[in-house]
Amino acid sequence: MRANGDPIVGGASPAWWRRVFGELLGTFFLVLVSVGPGVVNQRIDAEAVSRTAAVVAPGLMVASIILFMGAVSGAHLNPSVTLAFALRRDFPWRRVPGYLIAQFTGAVAAASLLAGTLGGHGTAGLTLPGPGVDAPLALLWELVLTVGLISTILGTASGSQNVGPLAAVAVGGYLALAGLWASPLTGASMNIVRSLGPALVYGQPRAWWAYLLGPLLAVPVAVGLAALLRGPGGGRISRRVAQGTVRH
């Protein structure tokens, strides 16, 4: 038996594999709905999916994923979120590599499905700096936006401010609102695998380092803000939210 009570099967508990699969599946759907609108518009040569719909859809998808499988894995869907939970002592560091691999695999799988069924269309659906925005400026804005996202997630997961299922509304709403105004600047990615996974599949890894470093640098900033606002992490409720509650 593991310390958390999970029976070990083949060196890892069934609950662990469910969590990893949950992260892969959730990230797959998030990236599918994030990249899909641009690919669809290019495929049919029309603006069938408006910019508003394209930036609101990922927020609605994240809210849905949190509600349907948040209890399984914590529904991180984002390397920066996983790292922030670990740095805040709400998530075991030993689980971090498995989650990161699952998230990247889900992102690549979603982009591969789009490319394989709808074809490659240059940079359609990818996150790239907008006109007049260079890579350093894109990095800065991805850092700022990701700090807001992680702060929202850590806040709604904290023992002093846990809002249960309404966390889905808060996190999904933040993603949609950030996308509505900031997507022309950077694509409002706020997620390393959402940017780099599709970029690798489509062979367009432009300004990739901005979409790697921005969300990564946001992690200690957001965790520091959480410490100032709520004190140290590692509380019982926040650990349950971050890790999921499935035990078998």
> Quick check: is 7 in a domain?
no
> Quick check: is 6 in a domain?
no
**Per-residue model confidence (pLDDT) at position 2:** 47
**What is the domain-level CATH number for residue 23?**
1.20.1080.10
Which residue reads 């939210």 in tokens? 241
- Distance CA(245)–CA(167), nearest Å, equals 16
Q: What is the pLDDT of residues 49-77, one digit of tens each?
A: 999 999 999 999 999 999 999 889 999 99
> Quick check: is 24 in a domain?
yes
> Quick check: is 1 in a domain?
no
- Closest residue by Cα to residue 19 from 68, 79, 75, 91: 75
- Domain region containing 109: 14-243
> Quick check: is 156 in a domain?
yes
Count of the separate structural domains present in the chain? 1
Q: What is the pLDDT of residues 164-208, one digit of tens each?
A: 678 889 999 999 999 999 999 999 999 999 999 999 999 988 899
> Quick check: is 4 in a domain?
no
Q: Please, what sign has the CA dihedral across residues 147, 150, 155, 159?
A: negative
- Closest residue by Cα to residue 81 from 200, 241, 199: 241
> Quick check: is 2 in a domain?
no
**Per-residue model confidence (pLDDT) at position 37:** 95
> Quick check: is 167 in a domain?
yes
